[in-house]
Amino acid sequence: MKLRILAAAVSALSLAPIYSAAQELIQPIKPPAQINIGMVELGKKLYFDPRLSKSGFISCNSCHNLSMGGSDNLPSSIGDKWQQGPINSPTVLNSSLNVAQFWDGRAADLKEQAGGPIANPGEMGFTHTLAVGVLQSIPAYVRDFKQVFGTEKIDIDGVTTAIAEFEKTLVTPNSRFDQWLLGKKDALSTDEAAGYKLFKESGCVACHNGPAVGGASFQKMGVVEPYKAKTAAEGRFAVTGKDADRFNFKVPTLRNVEMTYPYFHDGAVDTLTEAVDIMGRLQLGKKYTPTENAQIVSFLKTLTGDQPNFAMPILPPSADKTPRPTPFK
């Protein structure tokens, strides 16, 4: 129903001869406001620190690699002892714009999400208590926590709060599409603009909307035709227990989608061409021509924004008393 209303809205919009950002269902990405810089710097270190894992080898950045679109570009991630993850790792870029975190939305926000992988036996394989113990033993971290939180007592709440604060900075403004939305009408080529028109008129924008071009709702994967997934994940059903939520997944952001392959919750699809084709058929009952498909793909590539640009953090060394990682135990 919601889909139909949005589709109608889209259809109406597409009749307008001139687009302006105010009329669009996609909005430009704004730089983050109200950021605590000291906390961001601490969170950045923690994000890159593999000592939050049992092995001392896996950090947040291992699976949400900021050199690679905030993802690992693998169908499913590699966890402690090379365990295969059950689902594709979504990008961390612009994840602050998501309605909730994880494909099934089981974490309300970035802070809640950040604690998950640390203690997941299949991911970082550690415990919150042990991770906090490692940090507490490192004098430079104790100083950082004292400065940021006013106490030398480190706890998981502070750890995840700082990581989330850093992640809030990981937005990617200034894509060519955003330049276009903001009035630079030559920012898109004819094909790219045609691709956007198709994206709107054929209904993609019904789910992929808002500043993140997605991330705002849970939708069924496989509306017109069922999606034959390579994982057993049942999406939102795992959180709500409602049958209606089976195979409902958070709509992924399409920001930087050129960099966040492979696609879908099972990471089964390598190319945008194939992803657009499948989405058209399964979600919209529409078979795009090769030209239409190429135009939509060319539009999607205009959604690549400014990537994170900061100096790699230098992590404080462990102290003599710091518990050591146990990658092979």
Binding site for its own copies (CB under 8 A): 48-51, 55-57, 62, 65-69, 72-74, 78, 81-82, 84, 258-259, 261-262, 270-273, 307-315, 317-318, 320, 324-325, 327-328
Cβ–Cβ < 8 Å for 145, 154? yes
d(CA 63, CA 287): 33
Cα–Cα distances in Å, from 118 out to 91, 145, 253, 306? 17, 19, 24, 28
> What residue numbers does the annotated binding site for heme c cover?
60, 63-64, 204, 207-208, 279
Least Cβ distance, residue 325 to its own copies (angstroms): 6
* Number of residues that make up the chain: 329
How buried is residue 63: exposed, middle or buried, by Cβ count under 10 Å (0-12/13-18/19+)?
Answer: buried
For its own copies, give the closer residue by CB, 54 or 111. Answer: 54
DSSP 321: T
Q: Looking at 24, 123, 165, 192, which residue is catalytic?
A: 123
Residues 6 or more apart whose Cβ sits within 8 Å of residue 256: 69, 70, 91, 93, 94, 172, 303, 304, 305, 307
Question: Is 225 labeled as catalytic in the residue annotation?
Answer: no
For its own copies, give the closer residue by CB, 68 or 130. Answer: 68
Residues 6 or more apart whose Cβ sits within 8 Å of residue 150: none
For its own copies, give the closer residue by CB, 108 or 312. Answer: 312
Least Cβ distance, residue 92 to its own copies (angstroms): 13
3-state secondary structure of 13: helix
For its own copies, give the closer residue by CB, 59 or 209. Answer: 59
For residue 328, what are its two tokens? 């092979």
Rg (the chain; Cα; Å):
21
For its own copies, give the closer residue by CB, 10 or 269. Answer: 269
Least Cβ distance, residue 63 to its own copies (angstroms): 9
Least Cβ distance, residue 221 to its own copies (angstroms): 22
Nearest to 94 by CA among 317, 251, 282: 251
Least Cβ distance, residue 112 to its own copies (angstroms): 26
Residues serving a catalytic function are 123
